[in-house]
Structures are given as C-alpha cells and as structure tokens.
C-alpha cells in the first residue's frame, strides 16, 4: 500500500447517520486519502466533507462514487478490491436489518478478507484504523496465496 490510501466507505441506510458523524469527526484525516463510496453514501460523504472543509483551505478528497449497493455497487467495490485498487474498507452495515442484497454484502466482506485489507464493520474498529500510525505510511500487505487451495479444488472435481 502506498502512503496515500484508497479508503472505501459504505453504509447501510440505518447506519448512514453514523457514517456521516464519523466522517465529520475524521474529515481532516480522510482528506489526505482517496475515497470510494457506494451510492447514497458517496453523496452524503461528499456533502459532509464540503460542509466541514468550508473555509479551511485544504484540498477536498477525491471521491469515486459507485452504484448503490443493491444495484451493483457492492460488486463494483469487490472488483476494485480484487484488482488491488482499495486499501481499507469501512463498512457500517446493519446486522439487525435484512438486506435485499445480503449475498453481495457477504461477498464483499469475503473478498476484503481474501485480499487481507483492513476492514471495519463498526465505528470502534473504524476509529482504531483511522488512528493507526500505519495509515499514512507505506505498508506491505501480505496476502495468502490461494493457488494450492484452488488447485486442490480442481483436482477433487476431476
């Protein structure tokens, strides 16, 4: 990972308020990085950063806005992770509310784990990540090689 990270911000509807409060609390740190967001979360994050930034003279963050999660945004984000284009995932998901795209949510969390990127699914973990001294340093992400697993799976099927 480079010194400047690409941070993905995602929030389910019942957690968007929490995400925006977190963004407003951490806006100065977030401005030092590139951001990618799904759907409405991206619009709300952009508005929050503009509101907080007003009069500060700092450069606004680069925000890439994807589709809404249920419309493919989770899958777009998963592809970005698999391609090495996301360094950190902050995903405030709602564990008490069934989602119409639960399989996509599970796939996104799985791919973040496969590619060993720091992942926060709640505010306390997001706080630990944003406060880490590693956030603004070059970091060598060691990813497990799954080729043996894939090859074994192929052998079993033949």
End-to-end CA distance of the chain: 38
Q: Is 13 a catalytic residue?
A: no
Q: Which residue of the set 13, 46, 74, 148 is catalytic?
A: 74
120 contact partners, CB below 8 Å, separation of at least 6 = 88, 89, 90, 91, 126, 128, 129
Q: Which residues are catalytic?
A: 74
């Amino acid at each position: 990972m480079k010194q400047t990270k690409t941070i993905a911000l995602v929030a389910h509807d019942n957690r968007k308020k929490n995400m925006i409060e977190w963004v407003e609390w951490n806006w100065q740190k977030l401005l030092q990085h590139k951001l990618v967001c799904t759907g409405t979360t991206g619009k709300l994050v952009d508005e929050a950063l503009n509101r907080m930034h007003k009069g500060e003279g700092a450069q606004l963050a680069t925000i890439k806005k994807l589709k809404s999660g249920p419309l493919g945004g989770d899958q777009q984000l998963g592809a970005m992770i698999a391609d090495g284009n996301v360094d950190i995932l902050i995903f405030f998901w709602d564990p008490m509310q069934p989602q119409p795209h639960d399989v996509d949510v599970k796939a996104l969390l799985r791919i973040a784990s496969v590619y060993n990127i720091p992942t926060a699914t709640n505010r306390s973990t997001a706080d630990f990540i944003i406060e880490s001294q590693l956030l603004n340093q070059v970091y060598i992400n060691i990813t497990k090689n799954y080729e043996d697993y894939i090859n074994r799976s192929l052998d079993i099927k033949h």
